Amino acid sequence: MAGLLERAFTSAPGRAVASRLGLAEPPVLRRGPALPDEPLVLASLAGSTLVSDTLALLGVRAGEPLLDDGPEPPAYPGRIGGIVVDARDLRRIDQLEALRAVLRPALRALAASGRVVLVADDDVDGLEARAVRQALDGISRTVGKELRRGATCNLVFVATGASASDLASTLGFLLEGRSAFVDGQSWTVAPRLPLSPSPTPTPFLPPSATPAAGIPAAGVALGSERGGGGRRGDARGDARPLAGRIVAVTGAARGIGAQIATVAAGQGATVVCVDIPAAGEALAALANGLHGTALQLDVTAPDAGERIAAHVASRHGETARLYGIVHNAGITRDKLLVNTDAQRWAQVLSVNLEAELRINPVLLDGRPGGLADGGRIVGVASTSGIAGNRGQANYAASKAGVAGLVRALAPELAPRGITVNAVAPGFIETDMTARIPFVQREVFRRTNSLSQGGLPVDVAETICYFLDPDSAGVTGQVVRVCGQNLVGA
């Protein structure tokens, strides 16, 4: 029945009916490491050059903004690919007018899949300044909801002392197609942690074990001509920031996990693909294709952490260390709480949360094959854990728990240069969501600012942004990859 309904909606007449119901064809999103083709604009409302310096590091030559200071807003001569507004010095309510004045003409000229990025100060004093800081978040979320044709709006808070090189990975990510499904979000970039990894490969892998060339990159082909800045590779010109680094991904055999492994390998990582024995065939095929290794392991096993470390040490040598661990393995066992028995409850919490809680300390205790200082821990939460979701009390508990864990662990591991972050995906097209009844699935898909479900690659790109050695000032953050899902965003 679900298949029939789905085919009815995706057939030509079905699409016409859907359109009459107000369900317009969703826009095709610009994906991959590509800046917009159209020119970018920088509106500098702040006294210092931090943001223009960051754009310079990214090789972006940004144009001047037009100002809405007359009876009619002025018109740009053509489409613009995006506008970055440096709003760091805004402290007073009357100063928000300057933001409105630069945004109004720019939003009218924004190209499909265009970008609006606001940059604001994280640490502000005084009641009005703190109210204004929050007001910027309200503006960003609203603009995200008003934009059409795949364009997004996000807000970056910059903590005191953060430099242009600390900000570059975040601004590059937000302007590129890698952030296609990240919309209406705000998070903080701080000065990079001490002991942060250098951008060049460090001894995570012994020299004999450098990754093989020719690993396919997901999304848009790496090395495509850059829009805006005209660079190659990602916005910093570095297409393989994870070269020479070992990254373990749990739940890698399919769906989002397979994409995380693929994107990380495409960025140079040697990937340890972890999944349950029942998924062994798909796991081996993926690991082989990526020149990585497969580890058949149920993450709820009491010795799961020990086995991941032992696998790394046995494959790469006693001196090898993991650079990153991505806790992606997850399950759902949905039922209303009134119908949820102890088994369903425990299974979900065990895989989605307790496993991560048990594995991390083992990888952090300094053993061969464990996590190196300067490394990365990435969790996978969910918008269900932020907003709650009918029938998912167990799942929401586990995913909210992942977000709580990230926030608690980040300051603890900062002295070791290890960042801890999580993504919170919304509706992503995978086997997990394919099990949702069609009508409910179509509603979940459509109820976000981009009117579509995300792809596993969208989550993978955001995770690889966290893994990036240059994201060393991004820690304790939970970023939703949900197209600004109306629920919880």
Ligand X SMILES: NC(=O)c1ccc[n+]([C@@H]2O[C@H](COP(=O)([O-])OP(=O)(O)OC[C@H]3O[C@@H](n4cnc5c(N)ncnc54)[C@H](O)[C@@H]3O)[C@@H](O)[C@H]2O)c1
Q: Are 167 and 51 in contact (CB under 8 A)?
A: yes
Candidate residues 329, 372, 377, 467; the one interacting with ligand X per rule CB under 6 A? 329
Closest to ligand X by CB, 201 or 219: 219
State the helix-helix crossing angle for 12-20 and 2-10, rounded to 10 degrees. Answer: 80
Could you give the C-alpha distances from 37 to 76, 176, 185, 362, in angstroms and in order? 16, 10, 23, 46
- The nearest distance, CB 324 to ligand X, in angstroms, is 16
Distance CA 152, CA 161 (A): 27
Closest to ligand X by CB, 298 or 442: 298
**Residues 252-271 close enough to bind ligand X by CB under 6 A:** 253-257
- The nearest distance, CB 31 to ligand X, in angstroms, is 17
- The nearest distance, CB 351 to ligand X, in angstroms, is 4
DSSP state of 139: H
Candidate residues 267, 270, 430, 449; the one interacting with ligand X per rule CB under 6 A? 430
Distance CA 69, CA 3 (A): 54
Active site members: 395
Q: Does 168 bind ligand X (CB under 6 A)?
A: no
Distance CA 429, CA 426 (A): 10
**Residues 344-363 close enough to bind ligand X by CB under 6 A:** 351
Q: Does 279 bind ligand X (CB under 6 A)?
A: yes
Closest to ligand X by CB, 163 or 300: 300
Q: Does 113 bind ligand X (CB under 6 A)?
A: no
Q: Does 379 bind ligand X (CB under 6 A)?
A: no
Distance CA 54, CA 236 (A): 10
- The nearest distance, CB 335 to ligand X, in angstroms, is 16
Candidate residues 300, 340, 447, 451; the one interacting with ligand X per rule CB under 6 A? 300
Distance CA 271, CA 460 (A): 13
Closest to ligand X by CB, 106 or 312: 312
Q: Does 472 bind ligand X (CB under 6 A)?
A: no
Q: CB-based contacts of 412: which residues, under 8 Å, 6+ apart?
A: none
Q: Are 304 and 279 in contact (CB under 8 A)?
A: no
Q: Does 135 bind ligand X (CB under 6 A)?
A: no
Q: How many CB atoms lie within 10 A of CB 343?
A: 9
Q: Does 331 bind ligand X (CB under 6 A)?
A: yes
Candidate residues 219, 425, 469, 476; the one interacting with ligand X per rule CB under 6 A? 425
CA 244 to chain centre: 22
- The nearest distance, CB 394 to ligand X, in angstroms, is 11
Helix (H, G, I), strand (E, B) or coil at 438: helix
Q: Which of 148, 157, 175 is nearest to 484 (CA)?
A: 148
Can you give the binding site for ligand X, defined by CB under 6 A?
250-251, 253-257, 275-276, 279, 298-300, 328-331, 351, 380, 382, 425, 427-428, 430-433
